Amino acid sequence: MANGLANNKLPNWRFFVEWSSESLGIIHGIKKIIFSGRSKYQEVDIVETYTYGKCLFLDGKLQSSIFDEWIYHEALVQPAMVTHPNPKRVLIIGGGEGATLREVLRHNTVEYVEMVDIDEEVVNLCKKYLPEFHKGSFDDPRAKLIIGDGRDYISSKKEEYDVVIIDVTDPLKEGPSRLLYTKEFYELVHQALKDDGIMVTQATSVFYTTDVFATIYNTVRSVFSITHAYHTWVPSFNSPWGFVIGSKVYDPLNLKEEEVANRLCERGVEDKLRFYDAKMHRALFALPLSIRKVVEKEKRISTDRNPVFVIYI
Amino acid sequence: MANGLANNKLPNWRFFVEWSSESLGIIHGIKKIIFSGRSKYQEVDIVETYTYGKCLFLDGKLQSSIFDEWIYHEALVQPAMVTHPNPKRVLIIGGGEGATLREVLRHNTVEYVEMVDIDEEVVNLCKKYLPEFHKGSFDDPRAKLIIGDGRDYISSKKEEYDVVIIDVTDPLKEGPSRLLYTKEFYELVHQALKDDGIMVTQATSVFYTTDVFATIYNTVRSVFSITHAYHTWVPSFNSPWGFVIGSKVYDPLNLKEEEVANRLCERGVEDKLRFYDAKMHRALFALPLSIRKVVEKEKRISTDRNPVFVIYI
Amino acid sequence: MANGLANNKLPNWRFFVEWSSESLGIIHGIKKIIFSGRSKYQEVDIVETYTYGKCLFLDGKLQSSIFDEWIYHEALVQPAMVTHPNPKRVLIIGGGEGATLREVLRHNTVEYVEMVDIDEEVVNLCKKYLPEFHKGSFDDPRAKLIIGDGRDYISSKKEEYDVVIIDVTDPLKEGPSRLLYTKEFYELVHQALKDDGIMVTQATSVFYTTDVFATIYNTVRSVFSITHAYHTWVPSFNSPWGFVIGSKVYDPLNLKEEEVANRLCERGVEDKLRFYDAKMHRALFALPLSIRKVVEKEKRISTDRNPVFVIYI
Amino acid sequence: MANGLANNKLPNWRFFVEWSSESLGIIHGIKKIIFSGRSKYQEVDIVETYTYGKCLFLDGKLQSSIFDEWIYHEALVQPAMVTHPNPKRVLIIGGGEGATLREVLRHNTVEYVEMVDIDEEVVNLCKKYLPEFHKGSFDDPRAKLIIGDGRDYISSKKEEYDVVIIDVTDPLKEGPSRLLYTKEFYELVHQALKDDGIMVTQATSVFYTTDVFATIYNTVRSVFSITHAYHTWVPSFNSPWGFVIGSKVYDPLNLKEEEVANRLCERGVEDKLRFYDAKMHRALFALPLSIRKVVEKEKRISTDRNPVFVIYI
């Protein structure tokens, strides 16, 4: 053993770099490595970064940080849940950390939530190491966890759910979520929803993959009668992030600020949120002009034969 | 000479890292170094990055990139300009790249714009190397460039301007912009504005320095009767960015979407914008709940004796 | 969960940076984190790097890599062992990985080796995760492991050892090895050695901390009648590395090439080495002119009251 | 302009990373960019790093630093020059910085040195910005600079030189130095040397490209009757570096230490060197056992049809 320690204050030596391209990346100084290994499906790292605190990385991509996971998860879940006047039965596809589940369970109208995730090891690691994310949601008697393929699961369901929330990794050419953004998939979702059901999906970076975001919007629109794209910034993702709502009856833009406030209050949600409230509801749907133009012009529909996917590099 | 080149495709070797803290940074691969040196006031780098294209760095901090400078500059300039029914005389404090000037000159109501910047070398470098940013604005007959201290300059002005735009570096303990965010300074701005004048200032990161953002809001509010904080995301800043408007008469939230669209159209601005339009106007003012709570609770007022400043590390 | 994987080939995202100063560092892409945690004394990382393979880091400093640990350990152990005509009893101070022990045990003259290391957790982690380093040496019946303070241990020994090998971290102002490079310590070593005993210590970077290297040489010389500094390069340390031999009777420079070869052969060592042999023996002691000048001029002696230490930054 | 400076002490933001592979690199903090651009042949950066001072990078590879260029250049030039009893006419192929020229001119036996380099812009940049490297050697009346292809130049020469020194970039598949390491090239060198002439070439990293080093040795040996490989460490190259001497009559290993000292003294070189002297001469030729085994077993000869080249990644 040779070498040694530079000075009393140790400089950082453990770093994760999240590459957006081969010439743009975010450097995270790592305070502590809590878990690092490989599941059946992916590389998994649960670490404590100096700036964002506890984080989950899958295949080297930051999935969520304790610093701002509430922005992502409230933005994903709350607009759709609030838009439905009485959501009782909810299905989550993906959602490993349990934070999406947490947001759904906040609504006291909810009687039953199923969460279908393919990676049992990741779910178990999150249960063990990320209690601040799921806050015990997996133990809620209304929650049921199913380990399995989300698309297989939903294909046998008919008019069963009020809300379906799709919280999976970005579509990649060879990735497991490849066929969870296609027209055929959204038709299965449509079929699994009740007559007045509503769905929402994360829809990749608004800025770095605008064309994918626009294609997802256009694909949902080819299946649902009411469709809206919206977005918010998530600092640890280093980008404004996109979402798409597809709805059979209810339109989120028809809700007045007062009505949003009432629903949050009546359902016991109001005091639990940190990002979303009645004042934010409508603003989420305002896209910057340049993005709106791309979304409006998009003609492409993602299909099983020709699915859209993200190419970072 | 020894060593050599690894393979046909050269890997990146030139990098800039913009540190947000000593354990969080953005890595930019640099394609070309256009200028690198020191002015009287600061370190200046004009470089072409692979992802964001041409960029200006001052003291190692990214000021603007061709990729998204229009987001920052439209968000800074347009809401205040549009809120004023007939802006003729405008003062810009700072604004080295000339892009703020460009945004002001788009309004055909404008008869006269003064831009006061302290660093002549930076302005000359921007004139020479960043034509895509200023787009020839310095040659517009309505524009007048003054090299000097912005606070000194404004202190002799009375009821002269319709709009004052403050586009300077963040307040730092020892930095040159330290006294351009205090109550005393805003009183000078108030005095330099006409009876129905309006001012706007950039107001640091909404997320990483929320307390500074909130203090700037509160300080402007101590001087102006109508005050609003707003924000947008700027990808290359790696954060949502804040702004504060102070106004004597006109309230940006009283403008209807239709009125914004009319003004942009009548003044010949509409077709030139990429980020801001009538649909975005109101959404800019919707702050996330957690930020709004901090802003509402802030009691601190920044003063010359006890100025607010940013501490990144 | 959002985000995802860039392309089929994952880019590196886990990195360790070993800083030599705040503006010079080695970046190691990390393939696998085998262990990461904190012992009673230090931060411990056992990782697999892409280029150097399995590595041990203590407090962020690379201690040894499977790629070239044999250079360091042969260079530390073999010259002193070979210089002694019949080494039977050997003491190792430090040597956590067990590779120094391995090198000593290769000499069939050896009857008994004690290894005293202060950090039991590190030794146990090395036993478990670094079998390629120790190659089962801890199980050799001639080896005895003592967990404890090396200086305390040696202070009670008198004329007991043929060879003492000091394999500890660099001397740092506040580090645990601070008093293992002083005149008082070398006097204890001298006392613990038999009448014809010989000692050797690692002596920091020849190039980046030449003054420390020279001071260690000068301090050993103040205690032993025969003293020699030598060095070799260790790629993963990013520097030529120094060592100092102190001897009571035998001079390594008096050994002819043939004699070195004979001893290695007779003792069954020859076929097991990868770096050191008779042809290398003398060359190790040839220091570059510039380093030799510093060593020759050094007057400083490290003492318990005023110990030498390394300042990297 | 937004953003700003973190604290009084600016953190580094300009970095060069010299990649040895895609998962190993050296990070250099850059204090000042003196020149950055592209010549007809390559990317050229002359920068001041914090740790190594002024440096020349070609295509992102560090060619030499003021911190240790003297190690490389003395090691390349002095053993061959000293081995020749009376070097009068010398040819350098490559050698852009002028430091190889400087080392040759130190010998007062030298009457005439030609230096042939292909990249005029690099030579001119070195003349202008690296005076500490060439120390005015280009102005020495004995020196003649030729801009041109080294292989073309030497092909017309017969028995003209006492010493030929080859100081070119590593052989790369598509690089300009590809055919400056082949048997056919060394035959041209042999022909250009006088009856008792001697040549030396840099021979890549001993450690990371041992096979290339060994092939160069074997190729020179196929042309010259006396051939020796040698090496030294160069800290800023992050590797021990290799060289190969080919000689018609004189053997560097037949020189006694005293004779080396005499020649350096008589020729007025002695006081000017920092790395090499009589004590170092022989040690340079001692290769580590593992390297020596590879060199001894190498059967490959590099030819124009099938040239050896370096693959880092």
DSSP B10: P
Percentages helix, strand, coil for chain B, rounded to the nearest 5?
Answer: 30, 30, 35
- Which of D171, D244, D198, D208 is closest to D87 using CA atoms? D198
With contact defined as 3+ CB pairs under 8 Å, the chains touching A are B, C
- Residue C175 to residue A4, Cβ atoms within 8 A: yes
Distance CA D141, CA C111 (A): 68
Could A21 and B280 be called an inter-chain contact, meaning their C-beta atoms sit closer than 8 Å?
no
Which chain A residues touch C234 with a CB distance below 8 Å? 2
| pLDDT by 10s per residue, chain D, length 313 | 333 333 345 578 999 999 887 788 999 999 999 999 999 988 999 999 999 999 999 999 899 999 999 999 999 999 999 999 999 999 999 998 999 999 999 999 999 999 999 999 999 999 999 999 999 999 999 999 999 999 999 999 999 999 999 999 899 887 778 899 999 999 999 999 999 999 999 999 998 899 999 999 999 999 999 999 999 999 888 889 999 999 999 999 999 999 999 999 999 998 999 999 999 999 999 999 999 999 999 999 999 999 999 876 4
Cβ–Cβ below 8 Å for A51 and B289: no
Residues in CB range of D175: below 8 A, 6 or more apart: B4, B5, D169, D309
Quote the pTM value.
0.91
pLDDT-derived band at B313 (thresholds 50, 70, 90) equals very low
Determine the residue of chain C that is closest to A14 in CA distance: C16
Residue C15 · residue A29 · CB < 8 Å: no
- B189 torsion bin: left (phi>0), alpha (psi -120 to 50), beta (else): alpha
For residue B172, give the H/E element and its range: none
With contact defined as 3+ CB pairs under 8 Å, the chains touching D are: B, C
Enumerate the residues of chain D whose CB falls inside 8 A of the CB of residue C208.
235
pLDDT at A121: 97
User: Which residues, in sequence order, are CB contacts of C284 under 8 Å at separation 6+?
Assistant: C75, C79, C230, C231, C232, C276
- Best B12, B21, B27 member to test A by mutation, with max A CBs in 10 Å, is B27
Tell me the CA distances in angstroms from C286 to A124, B207, C76, C228, D278, one per residue in order.
58, 59, 16, 10, 10
CA A20 – CA A22 distance, rounded (Å): 7
Residue C190 has pLDDT above 90, yes or no: yes
Residue C3's pLDDT is 35
D99 vs D202: CA distance, rounded Å:
14
Strand B14-21 to strand B24-38: parallel, antiparallel, or no bridges (unpaired)?
antiparallel
Chains D and A touch, using 3 or more CB pairs below 8 Å: no
**Facing C169 at nearest CB: one of A3, A168, A241:** A3
Helix (H) / strand (E) element for A211: namely helix A210-221
Residue among C206, C280, C289, C293 with most chain D CBs within 10 A, to mutate: C289
Read off the DSSP letter of residue B110: -
pLDDT: is C248 or B313 the higher one? C248
The answer to whether the Cβ–Cβ distance between C71 and D288 falls below 8 Å is: yes
Element (H, E) at A229: strand A226-234
pLDDT per position as a tens digit, D95-126:
989 999 999 999 999 999 999 999 999 999 99
User: What ipTM was reported for this prediction?
Assistant: 0.89
Q: Which run of H or E residues covers position A97?
A: none
Q: Residue A5 above 50 pLDDT?
A: no
Among the listed residues C31, A27, A62, the one whose alpha carbon sits nearest the alpha carbon of residue D24: C31
- Give the total residue count for chain D: 313
pLDDT tens profile C116-141: 999 999 999 999 999 999 999 999 99
Which residues of chain A neighbour B229 with C-beta distances below 8 Å?
none
Residues of D in contact with C27 (CB under 8 A): 17, 24-27
Chain B interface with A: residues with Cβ < 8 Å: 12, 17, 20-29, 31, 49-52, 71, 207-208, 232-233, 235, 238-240, 273-277, 279-280, 282-283, 286, 288-290, 292
Distances (CA, A) of A248 to A154, A162, B58, B269: 18, 10, 52, 39
Are the Cβ atoms of B207 and A235 closer than 8 angstroms?
A: yes
Q: Exposure string (b/e) for B279-294, b if CB count within 10 Å is 16 or more?
A: bbbbbbbbbbbbbbeb
E-assigned strand segments in chain C: 14-21, 24-38, 43-49, 53-58, 61-65, 89-94, 112-117, 143-147, 161-167, 193-205, 226-234, 239-247
From A15, which residue of chain C is nearest by alpha-carbon distance? C15
Asked if C295 contacts C206 with a C-beta cutoff of 8 angstroms, the reply is no
Contacts of D75 in chain B (CB under 8 A): none
C234-242 average pLDDT score = 91
Contact state of D170 with B32 under an 8 Å Cβ cutoff: no
Predicted pLDDT of residue D11: 72
Q: Do B60 and D5 touch (CB under 8 A)?
A: yes
Residues of B in contact with A208 (CB under 8 A): 235
Give the pLDDT band (50/70/90) at residue B135: very high
Interchain contact, B63 vs D167, CB within 8 Å: no
pLDDT digits (tens, 9 = 90+) for B192-247: 999 999 999 999 999 889 999 999 999 999 999 999 999 999 988 888 999 999 99
Distance CA C117, CA C115 (A): 6
Side-chain-facing half-sphere of B307: CA atoms under 13 Å? 20
The DSSP element (H or E) to which B55 belongs, if any, is strand B53-58
C2: pLDDT strictly greater than 50: no
Please name the member of D13, D33, D72 whose beta carbon is closest to the beta carbon of B19.
D13
DSSP tag of B173: T
Structure tokens at B283: 């959404």
- pLDDT above 70: percentage of residues in chain A: 96
**Contact state of A24 with B276 under an 8 Å Cβ cutoff:** no
How would you class C21 by CB atoms within 10 Å of its CB: exposed for 0-12, middle for 13-18, buried for 19 or more?
A: middle
Average pLDDT over residues C54-75: 95
The residue that leads in pLDDT, B20 or D152, is D152
CA distance B296 to D227: 81
**A280/B288 touch (CB, cutoff 8 Å), yes or no:** yes
- Beta-carbon separation of B64 and D13 below 8 A: no
B42 contact residues in D (CB cutoff 8 A): 5
Give B258 to chain D, closest Cα distance, Å.
31
Q: At which residue do the structure tokens 């892009």 appear?
A: B99
Among candidates D2, C67, D41, which has minimal Cα distance to B202? D2
- Give the pair of three-digit tokens for residue B63: 């000021």
Is A14–C312 a contact, with Cβ atoms under 8 angstroms apart? no
- The angle subtended at Cα C58 by Cα C54 and Cα C64, nearest 5°, is 40
Query: What residues contact residue D313 under an 8 Å CB cut-off, 6+ apart?
Result: B6, B7, B11, D19, D21, D22
Residue D237 and residue B3: Cβ atoms within 8 Å? yes
Determine how β-strand B89-94 pairs with β-strand B61-65: unpaired
Task: Assess whether pLDDT exceeds 70 at residue C6.
Answer: no
Instruction: Round to whole Å and give the CA distance between B127 and C211.
Output: 51
Main-chain dihedrals φ then ψ at residue B181, nearest 5 degrees: -135, 20
- Min Cα distance A258 → chain C (Å) is 31
The pLDDT of residue D312: 61
Strand-pair category, C143-147 with B112-117: unpaired
Which pLDDT does position A168 carry in this prediction?
94
| Cα(D220)–Cα(D228) distance, integer angstroms | 9
**Per-residue pLDDT reduced to its tens digit, A277-311:** 999 999 999 999 999 999 999 999 999 999 999 87
Residues of D with a Cβ under 8 Å from any C Cβ are 12, 17, 20-29, 31, 49-52, 68, 71, 207-208, 232-233, 235, 238-240, 273-277, 279-280, 282-283, 285-286, 288-290, 292
pLDDT for position B1: 35
Please provide the average confidence, as pLDDT, over all residues in chain C: 93
Nearest to A61 among C4, C72, C94 (CB): C4
Instruction: Tell me how far apart the alpha carbons of residues B289 and B292 are, in angstroms, rounded to a whole number.
Output: 5
B232, β-bridge pairs: B241
Name the DSSP letter for residue D126: H
Token reading at C186: 């070398």
* Interface residue of D238, D289, D296 to substitute, partner C, most C CBs within 10 Å: D289
Q: Find the DSSP H helices in C62-111.
A: 69-83, 99-105
Both tokens of C250, joined, read 């035998």
Contact D279, C288 (CB under 8 A): no
Q: Which of B6, B17, B59 is opposite residue D15, by nearest beta carbon?
A: B17
Would you place residue A9 in the very low, low, confident or very high pLDDT band (cuts 50, 70, 90)? low
pLDDT confidence band for B2 (50 / 70 / 90): very low
Q: Which of A217, A145, A151 is nearest to A180 (CA)?
A: A151
Q: Are strands A61-65 and C61-65 parallel, antiparallel or unpaired?
A: unpaired
| Residues of D in Cβ contact (< 8 Å) with C232 | 288
Q: Rounded distance, CA A69 to CA A133, Å?
A: 8
Q: Is the pLDDT of residue B6 over 60?
A: no
- In the set A68, A167, A196, A211, the catalytic residue is A167
Chains that touch B (3 or more CB pairs under 8 A): A, D
D249 touches D195 (CB < 8 A): yes
How many Å apart are CA A113 and CA C306, to the nearest integer?
Answer: 68
Measured CA to CA, the distance from residue D17 to residue D224 in angstroms comes to: 39
Q: Is the pLDDT at B45 greater than 70, yes or no?
A: yes
CB pairs under 8 A between B and D: 172
Cα–Cα–Cα angle for A235, C17, C28, rounded to 5 degrees: 105
Contact B24 A27 (CB under 8 A): yes
Average pLDDT across chain A, whole number: 93
Compare CB distances from A29 to B23, B26, B276 and report the shortest one's residue.
B23
Q: How far is CA D237 from CA A258, B2, D25, D41, D199, in A?
A: 67, 9, 11, 22, 23
Alpha-carbon distances, residue B120 vs A288, B155, C121 (angstroms): 34, 21, 61
